[in-house]
Structure 1
Amino acid sequence: MADDQKGLSRRDFLKTTGIATGALVGGGLIGGLVGYNVNKDGVQTKSGTKNAEDHDVTSVKGLMFFTNHADFNVLSQAVERIFPEDDLGPGAIGLGVPYFIDNQLAGSYGNNTREYMQGPFFAGEATQGYQSRLTRAEMFRQGIAKMEEEAQKRYQKPFVDLDGGQMDEIITAFQKNEVEMKGVSSEFFFRVLRQATLEGAYADPIYNGNNNMDAWRMKGFPGHQMAYINMIEDEKFQKIEPKSISTMQH
C-alpha cells in the first residue's frame, strides 16, 4: 500500500466512513482503508505486533456454520483487513467478528428465512436491498472460495499466507466487481461482507461479537443503561462504562 496510507488511524477511518457520527458505512469506501496496518504475521500496532495466536480463530468459542477451519480463517483475515486493530483498540478478530458472522450464517440471517426469495431475479441497483437468488450462507461459501481461488491464481499461495497488500488487492477486486461469481456480483458480496463486519464489531456481545464491549468503548457508546436520570442535565460529557443487554434485570 502507499506510504501515505500506512499511518491511517482508526479515528480517521471512523470520520471518513461516518461511523463516528453513528452512520453505517455506505458503498465504495474501501480503497486505501482496508488493512492499512496488518501483515501476514499478525496485527501491526504502534506498540508492536500481535501474533495470530493471540486471537486464535479456531479457539473453543465454537463454530456453528463453518465446518472447514481453512474457510473460517480466510473469513477471519478478510474481516481483519476491513476492520484492523490499531492503537485505539482491537480489530475484527479481537472483537470476535468472525464468530459473529459464523453464528449469524447458521441461523435465519444465513438462510434468508424472513425475506422474500422467489423469482424473477434481476440485477439490482446499488441503492436497492438484497437481490440475489442465493442465500447469504451460499453467497459467503462461494465468496470465501473465490478469495482463496484468487490468491492461488495471483500469487500461488493460500489467502491467509498473503501479505497485507496482496489481501487488499483481492478484496478491492471484489469491491470493484472484477471477480466473477455465480448468482451474485462480487461487489454485492463485498458490501454484505463489510456490513456484516461492522455489525459484528458493534453489536451487543450476546451475539458473539464486540468482545468485552471494546468497540463501544472506542466510540464512547454506553450500551444498554437502565437510566440516565442522574446525569441527563449535566452539560459535561459523561464517560459511562458500557453495559450489555445481558446485564439488565428483568
Structure 2
Amino acid sequence: MSNEKEKQGVSRRDFLKTTGIATGTLIGGGIIGGLVGYNANKGSGKNEKTGETQQGQNHEINVGLQHFKTMKSFNILSQATERILPEDDLGPGAIGLGVPYFIDNQLAGAYGMNAKEYMQGPFEDGAVTQGYQSRLTRAQIFDQGIAKLEEEAQSRFKKGFEELEPDQMDEILTAFQKGEVKMEAVTSMFFFTLLRQATLEGAYSDPIYNGNRNMEGWKMKGFPGHQYSYAKDIESKEFIEYKPQSISSMTHK
C-alpha cells in the first residue's frame, strides 16, 4: 500500500466491513459522519475535468424509469444516494452501481406500494423502535422527500439540489437524518432511513434488480454472489476466491 493511501486512513471497504453498516447496523451518533460525512470531499457526482455529472456519463445505460415521472426528481435522488455512498479509488459509488435505477424500480412495485403490509389506521407518532407508522406508502414518502430536498436546497442556498456542492448536500441530508425538516405524515428522519437503506440494498442486491451494476458492489466486498455449489472446494485448506455470479448469469448456462 502506498504512503498516500496510508494517509487516507480507513478505506470505504474497511469502513463498511468493520462497522456493520452494510448489514443495516446504526452505530455511534448516527450515519452522518459515516456514509454521508465519510469521504465528504469525494464523489460529488461530477467529473472534475469536464464538469459532467456521472448521471450524464451513464445515460447510455439508462434502463428506463418506472416510477419517477421527471428526470429532475430522478437526478435529485441520484445525487442524494451518491452522497450516501460516494465513488472513491476502490470503486464506483451509488450512481455508478445503478442504485438510483434500483430504487426507481422498487418504488414502482410491491415495495413502493407497501403491498404486503398492513396500512390501516390509527396512525400515531410511534417510537423509532416501532417501525412503519405512516399512512403514506414508500413511493409517496420518497416523492415527498425528494421534493423536500429540492425545497431545502432552494431555501438554504438559492440553488437546486443537483447544483449544490458536496458539503451543502451533506448539510441538508444531515438535517433530514436528525429529523429537522418538516414533512407531512412522516418524519424526515424516517425518510432518510428509507433512503439510506434503499441505497445499500441497491449497491449489494443481485444485478437482476438493476442495482449492483456489473456486480461491482460484490467485487468490492469479495462476495461470491450465487454459486451453484461449493462441494468441490469445501475441504480445501487454501483460500479460494470465486468470481461472483448473479442469478441471471446462472440461468443462461
- Measured in 2, the distance between the counterparts of 1:132 and 1:58 equals 37
**Does the CA-based 8 Å contact 2:44-2:83 persist in structure 1?**
no
The residue type equivalent to 1:124 in the other structure is G
| Superposition deviation, residue 41 in structure 1 | 6.1
- Measured in 2, the distance between the counterparts of 1:219 and 1:32 equals 17
**Most deviating of 58-67 and 132-141:** 58-67
Matches within 5 A, 1:152-171: 152-171=154-173
Structure 2 counterpart of 1:231: 233
Structure 2 counterpart of 1:242: 244
Give CA-to-partner distance per residue, 1:151-175, whole Å, 9 cap, x none.
Answer: 0000000001000000000000000
Give CA-to-partner distance per residue, 1:27-51, whole Å, 9 cap, x none.
Answer: 622235415233656167xxx8994
Q: Quick one: percent identity of the two aligned structures? A: 62
Structure 2 counterpart of 1:36: 40
The residue type equivalent to 2:46 in the other structure is G
Matched, 1:112 2:114: yes
**Does the CA-based 8 Å contact 1:40-1:162 persist in structure 2?**
no
Matched, 1:24 2:28: no
Give CA-to-partner distance per residue, 1:205-232, whole Å, 9 cap, x none.
Answer: 0000000000000111100000011211
**Most deviating of 154-163 and 30-39:** 30-39
**Most deviating of 224-233 and 181-190:** 224-233
Q: 1:57 to 1:38 in 2, by over 3 A?
A: farther
| Superposition deviation, residue 88 in structure 1 | 1.0
- Measured in 1, the distance between the counterparts of 2:60 and 2:189 equals 28
Q: 1:176 to 1:88 in 2, by over 3 A?
A: same
**Does the CA-based 8 Å contact 2:45-2:79 persist in structure 1?**
no
- Measured in 1, the distance between the counterparts of 2:249 and 2:44 equals 37
Q: 1:211 to 1:196 in 2, by over 3 A?
A: same
Structure 2 counterpart of 1:176: 178
Structure 1 counterpart of 2:3: none
Matches within 5 A, 1:89-104: 89-104=91-106
Structure 2 counterpart of 1:3: none
- Give 1:194's match in structure 2, choosing from 183, 193, 196: 196
**Most deviating of 178-187 and 23-32:** 23-32
Between the two proteins, the alignment pairs up a number of residues equal to 241
Q: TM-score, normalised by structure 1?
A: 0.88
| Superposition deviation, residue 129 in structure 1 | 2.0
Matches within 5 A, 1:115-126: 115-126=117-128
CA RMSD of aligned residues (A): 2.4
- Measured in 1, the distance between the counterparts of 2:50 and 2:20 equals 28
Structure 2 residues not aligned, in runs of 5+: 1-7
Q: 1:114 to 1:43 in 2, by over 3 A?
A: farther
Give CA-to-partner distance per residue, 1:188-219, whole Å, 9 cap, x none.
Answer: 00000000000000000000000000000011
Structure 1 residues not aligned, in runs of 5+: 1-5
Q: Secondary structure at the match of 1:248?
A: helix
- Measured in 2, the distance between the counterparts of 1:11 and 1:49 equals 27
Give CA-to-partner distance per residue, 1:2-34, whole Å, 9 cap, x none.
Answer: xxxx86631343145314xx6323262223541
Q: 1:43 to 1:194 in 2, by over 3 A?
A: farther
- Measured in 1, the distance between the counterparts of 2:171 and 2:200 equals 20
| Superposition deviation, residue 64 in structure 1 | 0.3
Ranges of 4+ aligned residues in structure 1 off by more than 4 Å: 48-51
Matched, 1:78 2:77: no
The residue type equivalent to 2:134 in the other structure is S
